[in-house]
Chains A and B, each alone.
Chain A
C-alpha cells in the first residue's frame, strides 16, 4: 500500500459573488472575478490532512485541472497540509469545455501513475453542480465509491463510511483503493494560515498537460446558450375561490 491520497481541488467563482452572464450568452463572466477553492474540495483536503495526522496515510497530493491560476488553489491545499501538488494545465477553449468526464479521465490516469490508495473529492462543484466526477472516476478505475460521505474511518485495508442519502444515513464498508466524495458535514476545514502559506511556497507543484497522461479532452457536450433565470414576476392576490379558478383558466393552466 502506497499510503498515498490524491485530493482533487477545483478553482471556482467565490460563492458570495453575484454571477453575471456574458452579453453574448456563451457563459458567465470570469475575468477578474473573485475565485476560491470549491467549498466541498476544502472539506476533502481537510479530511485527507486529518488522515495523515492520524498516521493512517503517508502522503497527500493535491491535484487541480485548469489554467495558470489553478496553482493558487493548489497552494491553498498545500497550506492546509497537502505535501505536494500536481497542476494539469488546461486553458482557453479546452478549459471552457472541461467537464466531469475529462477530469475523471485525468484523475484515473494520475491515480495509476501515482499508485494512489484513495481519491478524495468534493461531492460536487458549486459552479456546475454536476456531482459526477467522483462517480465517473470510480467507474473508469473499477474502484468502489463512497459518495456524500459524512464520516470516514479507515480499518485496515477497508473504509467504513457513513453516507448522507435522501432517506437518512447509510453505513457502508468498501475496499481500498476507492474513491470517496465529501459532503458538507464531514468536517470543518482549517484555515490556511500565513506561516503555512509561506511554507507552501517551498512545496513542489508539478505541471503537466492532459496529453502527457494520454487523455483526450474532446467534449461530447456543446453549450448552446447560457441565460439568466427569468425575472420573478409579481404575484397576484384574489378575493374568492371563483376568482382563482377564473384566473387559472385565463392563464391556460386548467
Chain B
C-alpha cells in the first residue's frame, strides 16, 4: 500500500481551528483497475459484468466497490415491480441461482381516487403502466443477492465504507475516491479514535450513488456535465411493508392510484403490491412530485391519510406494519440526462437518472447502464498499451452505446408524459395526453416538452397558500412520524458533525421560516428538521436531528434556498432496511 499525503477534507461545517498538531494526517492509498461507488443495482450490475468479461477473456481485473450502508441492500428502497429484461441479459440463469423474483404479477389495477370513491381506469395493452411479465420484488433482497453473485465472481465489496471525496490527478482527471475520515467529534475536533479515510485509486471510477448522489453533485459542477440538459426533477417515495390478515391477501396483485388525497396540480400517486413469499406481506407506498407548490404539504402525512381511503383501508385492517422508509426518485427522464462521461470516470444508474417515469421503473435501465459501462470500460482497462490523453481514462464509448440501446429508445418514447402534467387541468390533462399521444403515437410526436425549472424553485410563499388540515394518526392504520422513523432502523454515531450541512446558518430562520414557514419540517420523512424556540429570548432556530436521517436526499433537492448540502456521514450509518 502506498502512503499519500492529502489535504484533510472533513465534512463541511464549523470545524477549523480545532485541529491540534500531531494528528496523523496521511492516508493509505491502494490501486484497483476499476472502483465503483454505490452498491445498488447499477453498481453491482457493472461489477458483475466486468468480472464476467474478465473471466471470459482470462484477464486479471481488480474491481472494488464501496457502499455506505453497513450491508449491501440496507439502503435500498423501491416499490417494486421489476421488469426482468436487464437481469436476464446479465445473468440468464437467475432463476436457477435463486434470485428472489418470487411473485409474478397476476392482477393489475389502476384507479383514480376521490375522497370516498374510486374510478377504475382500464390498463390497455401498450400503456406504460401495464405490468404483464413483471415481478413484484423486495428490491433490497435482489440487491443483496446481486452482491452475493458479485462476490462469487471476485468483486471486492466493502459495505460500511462511504466514498466521501473524489480524487483528481494533476491533469484534472478523476483519480479515484477517498472514504470518509472517522472519529471526528460533533464540534469538528478529532477524537482519540480518529483515523483518516483511505484512498482507492483506479483507472476508471464509476459513480452509481442513486438518485441525487452527493459526489455526482460535485462532478456536475467540476466537469460542467449539465450544461446541455434540463435540471433534474424529482419525487419523494415513502414506503411501508405490512403483514396483513391472510383473508385479505391476494398474491401477485398490483394496485396503483392517482388523485386523492393530492389535488389535480400535485403530481403523485400510490402503489400497493401483494408479495408471494410465503407470508401475507404487502408493500405499499406513496409518491409525491417534488415540484409541489404548497409549503404546507407534507408527503408523509399525505401517505398516512391515503391509507384510510375506503379502497385501501380494508386491506390493512387487522394487519401489522413491519417496515418504513423513504427515498427521492428521478422524474426528469430523457430531458434531464446529463453528459455521462468525463476523464477518469462515468455516471451510471439513477444518479444521472434513467427512470421511466410513467412506468415508475428505473431498475432495469439502471442495470443496463451499468452493464454498458462495464462493456465499454473493459477493453480499455485491460489494453496492454493504451494511449490516453489523461491519467484517468475517458470512456465516451459508454455514452454512445447507451444512446444506441433500448434504454434510450424507451426513455425517448415516454419523455413527454410527465411534463404533460404542467397544464391547467393538471392530472387530467396529463392522463388525456398520455391516452392520446402515447398510446397512439408511442412518443413519436416531434416535440419535446420542457420541465418547469428546478423543484426547489417551485414553492410558493406560505402567505399565498392554505395550510392543509391533516387527520391525526389513529395508531392502527396511520402513524406518527417518530414511530415510523424508529421502524427504519436508522442510526448514526451520535458524536460526529451533522452531515446535513448549511452553507449559511442564518438562512433557515431568515428565509425558509419567514417566507415558506419552514417546509423542511414537513418534507423530511424522518423528522430531521425542527424549528424550536431559542433557549433565551425570542425567536426560533433550526434544530437538525441528523441521527434520524434516512438518506433520502429530499432536503438537498427541495430546500427553496438550496442552503442544505447533504454530505455523507460515517460509513455504516443510516437506515437498516430489510428487503425494502
Contact = CB atoms under 8 A, between A and B. Distances in A.
Contacts of B335: none
Nearest to B64: A198
B158 interface: yes
Contacts of A31: 578
B456 interface: no
Interface in A33-70: 33-34, 36
A194 B487 contact: no
Interface in A7-24: 14-18, 20, 23
A223 B402 CA distance: 57
Contact of B140 (A17, A32, A191, A195): A32
A171 interface: no
Contacts of B140: 32
Contacts of B338: none
A197 interface: yes
Contact of B158 (A17, A32, A197): A197
A18 B487 contact: yes
B193 A194 contact: no
A32 B489 contact: no
A15 B30 CA distance: 33
Given A20-B322, A194-B158, A195-B30, A14 B489 contact: yes
B579 interface: yes
B141 interface: yes
Interface string B128-160: 000000000000110010000000000010100
B514 to A, nearest CB: 36
A34 B576 contact: yes
A31 B578 CA distance: 8
Nearest to B490: A16
B381 to A, nearest CB: 20
Contacts of A194: 66, 158, 161, 179, 197-198
A191 B195 contact: yes
A191 B491 CA distance: 16
B70 interface: yes
Contacts of A33: 576, 578
B489 A188 contact: no
Interface size class of B (residues with CB under 8 A): 20 to 34
Contact of B193 (A189, A197, A198): A189
Contacts of B486: 18
A190 interface: yes
A36 B487 CA distance: 18
A17 B576 contact: yes
Contact of B279 (A15, A23, A36, A188): A23
A155 B81 CA distance: 64
Interface string B182-207: 11000000011101011000000000
Interface string A59-89: 0000000000000000000000000000000
A193 interface: yes
A193 B571 CA distance: 10
A14 B576 contact: yes
Given A16-B491, A18-B487, A20-B322, A191 B576 contact: no
B226 to A, nearest CB: 31
Interface string B60-74: 000000100011011
B515 interface: no
B490 A193 contact: no
A129 B491 CA distance: 21
Given A16-B489, A16-B576, A32-B140, A188 B192 contact: yes
Question: Can you list the 5 inter-chain pairs with the closest CB atoms, starting with the nearest?
Answer: A16-B491, A34-B576, A195-B28, A194-B198, A17-B489
24 contacts: A14-B70, A14-B489, A14-B576, A16-B489, A16-B491, A17-B489, A17-B576, A18-B486, A18-B487, A18-B489, A32-B140, A32-B141, A33-B576, A188-B193, A191-B182, A191-B193, A193-B195, A193-B198, A194-B158, A194-B161, A194-B179, A195-B1, A195-B30, A198-B30
Interface of A: 14-18, 20, 23, 31-34, 36, 188-191, 193-195, 197-198
